């Protein structure tokens, strides 16, 4: 099975039913989506602003994985589907998905059924020392939690 393919300006990693997609989302920004459904759906409500055409995207798919760079931000997806973010210019790691720990059987990406083909997703990341992670995620249809990454 081919692990990586490119759809328009988005690299997609697939391994069995697990899918991970990274796409440009405005200047120096990337949107990450993951599912264990048959497809990543584009018809779901998004709390994000519509994507901007102000992007400078470069995608590379090779033997070691895939990278997508959009301005100052680069995301790398390993062959195992592990995601890492870095500064495009310096290569300094900003954030990395935690490595799976086989002894605990706890994956870095945990999906819990939320009804139909929708899932609640919990992801474990480690950040560079001295940085704080801020993220945006919908806990339910009525609750939105927002955070981000800053020094």
For 5-46, the pLDDT digits (tens) are 998 889 999 988 889 999 998 888 898 888 888 888 777 666
- pTM for the whole structure: 0.78
What is the predicted pLDDT for the residue at 149? Answer: 45
What is the CA angle 149-135-107, rounded to 5? 105
Q: What is the pLDDT of residues 78-103, one digit of tens each?
A: 998 899 999 999 999 988 888 777 77
Mean of per-residue pLDDT scores for the chain? 79
Cα separation, 74 vs 13, whole angstroms: 16
Name residues whose C-beta falls within 8 Å of residue 69's C-beta, 6 or more positions apart in sequence.
56, 57, 58, 59, 75, 88
Domain 4-41+49-146 class? mainly beta
> Would you kindly state where each structural domain of the chain is located, as residue ranges?
4-41+49-146
**Alpha carbons within 13 A on the beta-carbon side of 60:** 11
CB atoms within 10 A of CB 99: 12
């Amino acid at each position: 099975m081919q692990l990586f393919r490119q759809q328009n300006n988005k690299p997609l990693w697939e391994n069995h039913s697990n899918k991970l997609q990274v796409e440009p989302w405005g200047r120096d920004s990337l949107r990450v989506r993951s599912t264990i459904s048959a497809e990543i759906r584009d018809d779901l409500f998004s709390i994000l602003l519509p994507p901007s055409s102000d992007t400078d995207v470069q995608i590379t798919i090779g033997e070691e994985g895939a990278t997508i760079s959009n301005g100052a931000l680069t995301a790398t997806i390993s062959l195992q589907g592990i995601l890492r973010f870095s500064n495009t210019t310096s290569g300094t790691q900003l954030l990395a998905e935690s490595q799976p720990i086989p002894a605990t059987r706890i994956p870095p990406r945990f999906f819990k059924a939320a009804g139909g083909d929708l899932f609640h997703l919990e992801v474990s990341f480690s950040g560079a020392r001295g940085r704080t992670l801020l993220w945006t995620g919908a806990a339910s249809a009525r609750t939105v939690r927002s955070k981000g990454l800053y020094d």
